Structure 1
Amino acid sequence: MLNLDRVGALCAVAQTGSVAAAARLLHVTPSGVSQQLAKLEREMGTALLEPAGRGLRLTPAGELLARRGVELLSHASGIAAEIAAMRSEVVGPIRFGAFVTASRVVLPSAVRSLLSRYPVHVTVTEAETEVTLKSVARRRIDIGVVDSWESAPIDIPVDLQSRPIHRDTADVALAVDHPLAQASTVPLSALATTPWVAWGAGAAFHDWLVRTLRRQGFEPRVDFEASDVSTHLAFAAAGLAAALVSRLAVDEPPAGVVLRPTEPRLHRDIYAVWRADNAGPAIRAGIDAVEEAFASTAQ
């Protein structure tokens, strides 16, 4: 394996005509150049320099190596420049993971923005927050978009970095003829005998709803389970159940449904998470694009 510093010393001698002049060119001592040349000859197994009067001249092998060495050094310098550019430019793949609502409402806009600005390839994997955190830690994705409800906070691993990028609020969805439909704020405790529609048992959103309502002093009766917010709203519109729906997931409720703030208020913080050893320009640009997309939903 050729050592580039030693090849550079030989090229400097070929360019300047002497060890002393090569040392001045390289800003090292003449003995340092001589040591590099001696090591290079041992590596190559042949003489590269030979006496010529009071000076030195390159042997045929030395001339070949010096000539090719200039090309080699130029090529290595180009590679270093490309790598430096990668550190300062937004290039390469960006792999996102996100919970369902973010994947549907926010990620399309963020991805479109990234593709319009940079030469990147973007992928998105939809999964619950716990799965996304594991995928980031295991290097399957680069940026995770995860949610953490105040009543059921997530535990972000210490080896991941995070940045809060949005705060969301949940409202209660009720039929327009529900006794509390016209209230400015609906106490959750007033819905103790009301059936609920929620995600399926075992899903993070289901567990959050049950935990939240238990804190209001009652065990919720989840009679209907569905994995789509529009279905939740349909059951609410039919007067069959109440639902907790995030504002991020619903811009305008369908006919027959009202959305009312709750007491207590229900908030979740949304974070971007990434590995500390994977925080280059592309990752920063991806996080910024997602934060911008969230901000546009709040306008």
Structure 2
Amino acid sequence: MFSLDRLRALAAVATHGSVARAAQALHMTPSGVSQQLGKLEREAGHTLLEPHGRSVRLTHAGRVLSRHAEQVLGQLAAAESDLGDLDDQVLGPLRIGGVASAVRTLLPHALADLTTRHPRLLPTVTDGEVVDLMPRLLDGALDVLLIESWANRPLVIPEGVTLRTLVDEEAKVALSTRHPCHHHEAVDLAELPDTAWATCPPGTEPHEALVQALRARGVEPDVRYFVAEHTAQYALVEQNLAAALVPAMAGAVAPPGVRMIPTTPALRRDISVAWLTRNQSPPVRACVAALEAHAA
């Protein structure tokens, strides 16, 4: 029978991509993780790791066993969570990360109810982009994420992460009332070949979704303004310096000089809650339930 500690070491290497990062996540030394993996290889009768540059990667046998390890650890975490729920132990730290629009519109109401029902819960909130927040979830630095995924560029979810969609919403183009297309009832992105754009920095979901949407309509993106806050994007749009692609959650605060116009074809994004499958603790479960209730 395989040791749980050795399976946990293998799952950590599969999740984090190296022995060093797995050791950091498990609060062990790299040599300690390597020893656990060596013992696991002898128990399994297969080589589980192979050299890859200056690091290592899982062999086929390692990938097969890591999937089983993830399932075993997830079931164990669920059992521990169920036992904790018997005593209603929704208390202690709850570390939440999320994209700014969801943090601003969806999270406060859910947190107000959650902390009223569970006064011993201690939530903290960090906003940011998915590209920065997901590694922190995988490393155990965050417990719950509110993330976005655009329909024309679906987010790739790492193994071991559970995802539940909360909101499906439309995104619109923000144009200045001085833009030639501002009077349109709907706008095809192909109609905007000479328009500059404001969006989030490269590598973020909104930036990549915008670039792909424009290229799909035969327009090479002219992105000149890299600003994360929609209020800053609106300021640039209002002065007719740029257009912006804005989801519904942020569209309500558009200033008078900005018009929100649907796109043809329509562009949509999801807001989802994500957590590590093996971390189904009572606080995480209570947070997910509260978010689902307010999203509905």
- Shift of the 127–87 alpha-carbon distance from structure 1 to 2, 3 Å rule, reads farther
Counterpart amino acid of residue 259 in structure 1: M
Aligned to 2:94: 94
Which residue is equivalent to 1:167? 168
Return the alpha-carbon distance in structure 2 between the equivalents of residues 244 and 84 of structure 1: 46
Q: Secondary structure at the match of 2:167?
A: strand
**Unmatched 5+ stretches in structure 1:** 1-82
One-letter code aligned to 1:154: L
Partners of 1:270 and 1:264 lie apart in 2 by 20
| CA drift at 1:245 | 0.8
Q: May I ask how many residue pairs the two structures share in their alignment?
A: 213
Partner of 1:216: 217
- Counterpart residue number, 1:25: none
Q: Is 1:280 matched up with 2:278?
A: no
Q: What does the per-residue CA deviation read over 1:11-48, in whole Å, with 9 as the maximum and x for residues that have no partner? A: xxxxxxxxxxxxxxxxxxxxxxxxxxxxxxxxxxxxxx
Within 5 A, what are the aligned runs for 1:52-201? 84=83, 86-89=85-88, 90-118=90-118, 119-201=120-202
Q: Which amino acid aligns with 2:205?
A: A
User: How is 1:182-261 mapped onto 2 (pairs within 5 angstroms)?
Assistant: 182-261=183-262
SS in 2 for 1:153: coil
Q: Deviations over 1:187-239 (max 9, x none)?
A: 11101111112223344322221122111111011122322211211121112
Residue 179 of structure 2: SS of its match in structure 1? coil
SS at match of 1:182: coil
Following TM superposition, by how much is the alpha carbon of 1:129 offset from its aligned partner in structure 2, in angstroms?
1.0
Q: 1:87–1:281: 8 Å Cα contact kept in structure 2?
A: no
Where structure 2 has 5 or more consecutive residues not aligned to the other structure, the ranges are 1-81
1:248 maps to a residue whose letter is: M
Q: CA RMSD in A?
A: 2.0
> Aligned partners of 1:88, 1:157: CA distance in 2, in Å?
32
* Separation of aligned partners in 2, 1:86 and 1:114: 15
Give the drift of 1:88. Answer: 4.6
Deviation at 1:276, TM superposition (A): 1.8
Q: Aligned-pair distance for 1:85?
A: 5.5
The residue matched to 1:186 in structure 2 has which SS? coil
Question: What letter corresponds to residue 220 of structure 1 in structure 2?
Answer: P
Letter of the aligned partner of 1:99 in structure 2? V
CA 1:124 to 1:250, structure 2 compared with 1: closer, same or farther past 3 Å?
A: same
Contact 1:163 1:271 in 2 (8 A): yes
Query: Per-residue displacement from partner, 1:51-92 (whole Å, max 9, x unpaired)?
Result: xxxxxxxxxxxxxxxxxxxxxxxxxxxxxxxx9555451333
Structure 1 residue 269: Cα displacement: 1.4
Taking only the aligned residue pairs, the percentage that are identical comes to 33
Amino acid at match of 2:226: E
Structure 1 residues 86 and 93: alpha-carbon distance in aligned structure 2, compared to 1, 3 A threshold = farther
CA–CA separation in structure 2 for the residues paired with 1:85 and 1:187: 53
TM-score by length of 1: 0.66
One-letter identity of the residue aligned with 2:109: S
Structure-2 change in CA distance of 1:84 and 1:286 (3 Å): same
Once residues 203 and 272 of structure 1 are traced to their aligned partners in structure 2, the CA distance between those partners, rounded to angstroms, is: 17
Aligned to 1:41: none
Contact 1:166/1:291 (CA < 8 Å) preserved in 2? Answer: no
CA contact 2:169–2:270 (8 Å) conserved in 1: yes
Change in CA separation of 1:179 and 1:95 when aligned onto 2, cut-off 3 Å: same
| Aligned-pair CA distance for 1:168 | 2.2
TM-superposed CA distance for 1:265, in Å, is: 0.8
